[in-house]
């Protein structure tokens, strides 16, 4: 084999001793390579702050109007334009004359607006097409269709004093929480009515608290006729407390709230109720309280709504799912609104954990036909099944075969047709590419409506005639088209992304790859990032980015992105950055997802290592003797786990905000994927196999731990407990505690710089520039 040497940027050796700080001078004098500020600046230009500005016509987020029309904001080289599309007429045009509107708005607002830098947040077109109302933050202007004149409009008011309030379907009332009770405001008169009278601290109504996340926004669902509210009384009495202490001059501030943990005798309970708004009466459902669980996420409030609750159209009944504490049992139930009586319809019982979908909650109640659409992975793949609502008996499968149904996006009960997103159903394609399908409730082969071999992001028109389809891959930019919803036929192309200016900078996309999992059989899919100065005759250290699951994977979405956090930027410093969706992550089969159920310390690491070894055999320029690992949150847990569990493979780890022992993290996460906490006769527990501090004695390489001191998602004692054991084991490590930071500090400039420095110094063996300051350079491309 030819002799190779590890790659460091050429500029490293051009720096003189005089031009670099004393520490770097010493490094150069000793033969250690040095990275300069110019090297970091070049990498910084691969961050989204710079690259996203160089992608044009690549973002279409439709705002639908009457008649199936829609408008969207479109990035163009001049700035941004506003476009309106009428699929019926196959017309795409600018929503207005930007130059004339900018001049008219400038005159009306007594300021200066540029034609392609208008801060418009919403657009409303008049029915006769003669005027358009433009919202600019809190200000609103009605402009003549010709753009000749704009007139300021009175500030719009919906009568809500509480912006967390939830509007009724008819738009006349808004529900909100006050002093643990539920209230409504009449938006026409401003009159407030108290609906419940007995709410108290830790036992209030519609409380939005899962421990790991909290909000003042109530958790409830209005009935279609706007006369009833389904909600619950949230019982936190006796639940263990979480405490955080701020860093301040003078007295610190104590933050304390109920936060249940795995194994606690008491967790949050929800007592389901139905409230008649007109009479302000409350009917409690005649059943014991449910554990605070859902079939979709680790909160009962998922994707902006109360999960697992659906009203009958006439509000006579409420359908819902009760999930057991360990997520192994899901009970589909129906309650009578007037009496609160509850009927069990059917159960789904699994060995590991039940979920109702990966893109959304995929069950629907169909009172008109006395049926229920139900999601199950009973054949190892997520499919839809039709049940009899009266008897609870299975009628037949709606979908079959491999490739999970992800999300029901539309249901037409009259034609007995539904539309759904799914992945992995098209042979020979990346199984993570999402496509839209149509299928009849009575079964049959689903019809593919998005044929291109790419990942599809869709938006459906409210009238059910059209959908906007933006499709792309990690290495090919988006194309956006309009299609017919009934058959998927192409109506018109509206945008094709322009990345010419991005490519002119030398930017290169990530490289998709496929490898085998630990079993040598299962295909895994990932992305690789290389520096723009890549030289196949050199040897590069490897950084393994990961998020282990079980709720998501390392790679994330398969649509095009110019930055993908700072992975592309980190590679620019002279690394090969790799990420793969290991076993134990979703969007594949249930057996794939449950690969390490009950053994969260696995973290997919055997697959990560198998991936790196295979790629290193495939590419001689990957230096398998210099491998680092990095992740945040669950990825921080896995990164520390990696260097402790496989100390001879991973040499450097950066672990941020890790839940290093799930006995110290929220109850729903651990109890769903690790199981209920139980002890053994010898004093060990079934959670010992995932506790990073129990592996502290294994540390050989360089470990950087980081955590926010006010992290109310993953509390900082997760990292401090690991630190304490590392100290007890007399191990060297590095620690950054970021004062007053919550959970999402990973992309802060300081943390990013420290992460880059750590890999440069300890994995590459180079000296980073001292205290590089992100954001000093300006975009001049």
pLDDT, one tens digit per residue, over 575-622 is 999 999 999 999 999 999 999 999 999 999 999 999 999 999 999 999
Nearest one of 353, 356, 354 to 365, comparing CA atoms = 356
Given a contact cutoff of 8 angstroms between Cβ atoms, the answer to whether 646 and 777 are in contact is no
Which letter, b or e, does each residue of 606-626 get, where b requires 16 or more Cβ atoms within 10 Å of its Cβ?
Answer: bbbbbbbeebbeeeebbbeeb
End-to-end CA distance of the chain: 42
Nearest one of 646, 652, 654, 673 to 662, comparing CA atoms = 673
Mean pLDDT estimate for the chain: 94
DSSP 8-state assignment for residue 159: S
Question: If you average pLDDT over residues 324-335, what whole number do you get?
Answer: 98
Residue pointed to by tokens 């009266």: 390
Angle at CA of residue 153, ends 149 and 155, nearest 5°: 155
Q: For residue 161, what pLDDT band results from cuts at 50, 70 and 90?
A: low
DSSP 459-527: EE-TTSSEEEEEEEETTEEEEEEEEETTT--EEEEEEE-B-HHHHHTT----EEEEEE-TTSSSEEEEE
Q: For residue 20, what pLDDT band results from cuts at 50, 70 and 90?
A: very low
Domain with CATH 3.40.50.1820 in the chain: 509-678+685-764
Q: Is the pLDDT of residue 668 over 60?
A: yes
Given a contact cutoff of 8 angstroms between Cβ atoms, the answer to whether 458 and 440 are in contact is no
Q: For residue 26, what pLDDT band results from cuts at 50, 70 and 90?
A: low
Q: For residue 4, what pLDDT band results from cuts at 50, 70 and 90?
A: very low
Q: How many CA atoms, within 13 angstroms, populate the side-chain half-sphere of residue 656?
A: 23
Chain centroid to Cα 355, Å, comes to 17
Pairing of strands 70-76, 79-86: antiparallel
**Distance in angstroms (rounded) separating the CA atoms of residues 304 and 359:** 13
**Distance in angstroms (rounded) separating the CA atoms of residues 71 and 61:** 8
Question: If you average pLDDT over residues 443-462, what whole number do you get?
Answer: 96
Pairing of strands 443-448, 434-440: antiparallel
**Distance in angstroms (rounded) separating the CA atoms of residues 748 and 568:** 16
How much is the pLDDT for 583? 98
Q: In 573-633, which residue ranges form alpha helices assigned H by DSSP?
A: 590-593, 605-618
How much is the pLDDT for 245? 97
Nearest one of 140, 40, 67 to 759, comparing CA atoms = 40
Q: Would you say how long the chain is, in residues?
A: 781
Residue pointed to by tokens 């409690």: 284
Helix (H, G, I), strand (E, B) or coil at 312: coil
SS3 for 500-518, per residue? HHHHHCCCCCCEEEEEECC
Q: Encoding tokens for residue 619?
A: 């590419």
How much is the pLDDT for 11? 43
Phi, psi of 588 (to 5 degrees): -125, -145
How much is the pLDDT for 103? 96
Nearest one of 667, 664, 669, 673 to 721, comparing CA atoms = 664
Q: Encoding tokens for residue 426?
A: 């098209």
Q: Encoding tokens for residue 700?
A: 């050989």
Q: Encoding tokens for residue 250?
A: 């003078």
Tens digit of each residue's pLDDT (9 = 90 or more) over 232-248: 999 999 999 999 999 99
Tens digit of each residue's pLDDT (9 = 90 or more) over 420-432: 999 999 999 999 9
Nearest one of 311, 327, 366, 321 to 344, comparing CA atoms = 321
Chain centroid to Cα 366, Å, comes to 30
User: Could you tell me if residue 17 is left (phi over 0), alpha (psi between -120 and 50 degrees) or otherwise beta?
Assistant: alpha
CATH class as words, domain 509-678+685-764: alpha beta
Where is 738: in which H helix or E strand?
A: strand 734-738
Q: How many CA atoms, within 13 angstroms, populate the side-chain half-sphere of residue 399?
A: 32
**Distance in angstroms (rounded) separating the CA atoms of residues 425 and 403:** 5
How much is the pLDDT for 155? 73
- Crossing angle of helices 634-645 and 605-618, rounded to 10°: 70
Q: Encoding tokens for residue 18?
A: 């005089």
Given a contact cutoff of 8 angstroms between Cβ atoms, the answer to whether 270 and 290 are in contact is yes
**Distance in angstroms (rounded) separating the CA atoms of residues 621 and 66:** 57
Given a contact cutoff of 8 angstroms between Cβ atoms, the answer to whether 168 and 175 are in contact is yes
Nearest one of 300, 100, 114, 309 to 211, comparing CA atoms = 300
Nearest one of 676, 578, 588, 658 to 619, comparing CA atoms = 578
**Where is pLDDT greater, at 736 or 160?**
736
**Distance in angstroms (rounded) separating the CA atoms of residues 308 and 776:** 48
Question: If you average pLDDT over residues 191-200, what whole number do you get?
Answer: 97
The model carries a pTM of 0.93
CB atoms closer than 10 angstroms to residue 50: 21
């Amino acid at each position: 084999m030819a002799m190779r040497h590890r790659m460091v940027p050429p500029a490293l050796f051009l720096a003189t001793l005089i031009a670099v700080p004393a520490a770097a001078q010493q490094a150069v004098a000793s033969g250690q390579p040095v990275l300069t500020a110019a090297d970091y600046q070049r990498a910084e230009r691969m961050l989204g702050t710079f690259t996203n500005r160089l992608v044009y016509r690549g973002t279409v987020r439709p705002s639908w109007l009457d008649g199936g029309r829609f408008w969207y904001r479109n990035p163009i080289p001049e700035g941004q334009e506003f476009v309106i599309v009428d699929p019926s007429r196959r017309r795409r045009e600018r929503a207005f004359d930007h130059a004339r509107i900018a001049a008219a708005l400038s005159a009306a607002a007594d300021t200066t607006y540029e034609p392609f830098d208008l801060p418009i947040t919403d657009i409303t077109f008049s029915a006769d097409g003669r005027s358009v109302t433009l919202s600019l933050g809190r200000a609103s202007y009605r402009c003549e269709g010709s753009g000749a004149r704009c007139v300021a409009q009175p500030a719009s008011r919906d009568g809500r004093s509480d912006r967390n309030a939830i509007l009724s379907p008819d738009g006349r009332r808004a529900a909100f929480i006050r002093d643990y009770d539920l209230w409504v405001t009449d938006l026409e008169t401003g009159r407030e009515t108290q609906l419940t009278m007995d709410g108290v601290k830790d036992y209030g109504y519609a409380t939005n608290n899962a421990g790991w996340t909290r909000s003042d926004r109530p958790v409830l669902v209005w009935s279609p006729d706007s006369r009833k509210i389904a909600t619950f009384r949230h019982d936190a009495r006796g639940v263990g407390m979480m405490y955080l202490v701020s860093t301040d001059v003078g007295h610190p501030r104590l933050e304390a709230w109920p936060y249940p943990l795995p194994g606690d005798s008491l967790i949050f309970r929800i007592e389901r109720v139905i409230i008649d708004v007109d009479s302000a009466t409350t009917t409690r459902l005649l059943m014991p309280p449910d554990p605070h669980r859902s079939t979709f996420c680790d909160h009962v409030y998922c994707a902006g709504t109360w999960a697992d609750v659906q009203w009958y159209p006439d509000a006579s009944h409420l359908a819902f799912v009760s999930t057991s504490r360990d997520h192994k049992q899901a009970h589909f139930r129906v309650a009578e609104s007037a009496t609160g009586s509850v009927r069990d319809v059917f159960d789904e019982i699994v060995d590991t954990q039940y979920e109702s979908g990966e893109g959304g909650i995929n069950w629907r109640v169909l009172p008109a036909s006395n049926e229920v659409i139900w999601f199950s992975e009973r054949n190892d793949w997520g499919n839809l099944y039709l049940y009899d609502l009266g008897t609870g008996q299975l009628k037949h499968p709606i979908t079959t075969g491999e490739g999970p149904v992800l999300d029901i996006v539309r249901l037409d009960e009259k034609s007995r047709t539904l539309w759904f997103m799914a992945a992995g159903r098209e042979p020979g394609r990346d199984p993570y590419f999402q496509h839209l399908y149509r299928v009849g409730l009575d079964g049959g082969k689903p019809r593919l409506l998005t044929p291109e071999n790419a990942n599809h992001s869709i938006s459906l028109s409210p009238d059910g005639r059209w959908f906007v389809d933006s499709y792309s891959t990690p290495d090919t930019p988006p194309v956006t088209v309009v299609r017919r919803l009934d058959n998927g036929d192409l109506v018109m192309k509206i945008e094709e992304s322009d990345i010419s200016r991005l490519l002119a900078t030398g930017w290169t996309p990530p490289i998709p790859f496929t490898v085998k999992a630990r079993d040598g059989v299962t295909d895994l899919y990932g992305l690789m990032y290389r520096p723009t100065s890549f030289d196949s005759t050199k040897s590069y250290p490897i950084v393994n980015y990961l998020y282990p699951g079980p709720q998501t994977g390392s790679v994330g979405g398969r649509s095009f992105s110019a930055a993908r956090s700072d992975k592309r930027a980190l590679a620019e410093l002279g690394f090969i950055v790799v990420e793969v969706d290991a076993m134990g992550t979703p969007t594949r089969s249930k057996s794939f997802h449950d690969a390490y159920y009950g053994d969260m310390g696995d973290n997919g690491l055997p697959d990560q290592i198998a991936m790196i070894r295979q790629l290193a055999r495939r590419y001689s320029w990957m230096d398998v003797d210099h491998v680092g690992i990095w992740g945040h949150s669950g990825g921080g847990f896995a990164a520390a786990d990696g260097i402790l569990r496989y100390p001879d493979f991973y040499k450097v780890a950066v672990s941020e905000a890790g839940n290093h022992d799930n006995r110290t993290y929220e109850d729903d996460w651990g109890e769903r994927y690790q199981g209920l906490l139980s002890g053994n006769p010898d004093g060990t527990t079934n959670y010992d196999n995932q506790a990073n501090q129990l592996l502290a004695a294994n540390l050989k390489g360089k470990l950087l731990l980081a955590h926010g001191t006010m992290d109310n998602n993953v509390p900082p004692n997760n990292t401090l407990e690991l630190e304490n054991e590392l100290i007890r084991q007399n191990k060297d490590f590095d620690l950054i505690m970021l004062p007053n930071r919550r959970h999402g500090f990973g992309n802060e400039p300081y943390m990013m710089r420290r992460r880059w420095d750590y890999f440069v110094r300890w994995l590459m063996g180079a000296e980073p520039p001292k205290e590089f300051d992100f954001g000093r350079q300006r975009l001049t491309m």
